[in-house]
Amino acid sequence: MFLKPIAYQYPHSSKKTRGRLVHFENNNILPEQQGFTTEDILWAVGIWSVILTLSPVVVFYVLMVA
């Protein structure tokens, strides 16, 4: 779940929401607009590539130090 920047533009609103869950409904999203964007997929592939690339390095380091 991502933070909604609009919720933090007006931190001193008249509504008392401290300590409660705030739910924002966005009725402007069309069904075909829901889902993953190209940016989301590229970000996920990039993170996984970093993890999979560095995991042998970490394992080798742990085996050499231990």
Query: What pLDDT digit, counting tens, does each position of 1-31 carry?
Result: 556 666 666 655 555 556 666 666 666 666 6
Q: Indicate the pLDDT class of residue 38, thresholds 50, 70 and 90.
A: very high
Could you give the residue ranges of the DSSP H alpha helices within the chain?
38-65
- Based on the structure, what is the number of domains in the chain? 1
d(CA 14, CA 16): 6
| The model's pTM | 0.43
Q: Is residue 46 part of a domain?
A: yes
> Is the Cα dihedral 4, 48, 36, 23 positive or negative?
negative
Share of the chain above pLDDT 90, in %: 42
The chain-wide mean pLDDT, for the chain, equals 77
Q: Is residue 49 part of a domain?
A: yes
Q: Is residue 10 part of a domain?
A: no
Q: Is residue 34 part of a domain?
A: yes
Average pLDDT over residues 25-54: 85
Q: Is residue 50 part of a domain?
A: yes
